[in-house]
Amino acid sequence: MANVEIFDGMNRRSAPARRAQVTDAVTYRIIFSVCFIVFLWSMAIELLAPKQWRTLSDVARGKSLWTSANDAAHRCASIAFQG
């Protein structure tokens, strides 16, 4: 397969470089999704635990479960993707 140039806005990238960028984006989304599901479940279980067992997480401080899981997943996926 020939090295075909793709015009992407102001940047010119070769097809393999563009493919690598798309692969990285998909990999990041997969890592983020797995982290999000894990944190969502763990925070939901934490809410079901008795009060004296809970840690001082974002959920215990009154932040929404969804927002807390999203923030934690962003932090975890960013660190994991840096490799």
12 has pLDDT over 70:
no
Give the pLDDT band of residue 70 (cuts 50, 70, 90): very high
Residue-wise pLDDT tens digits, 18-58: 776 778 888 889 999 999 999 999 888 888 877 777 666 65
CA quadruple 33, 39, 44, 48: dihedral, nearest 10: 160
Percent above pLDDT 70 for the chain: 69
Residues facing residue 78 across a β-bridge: none
Contacts of 6 (CB under 8 A, 6+ apart): 12, 13, 14, 15, 18
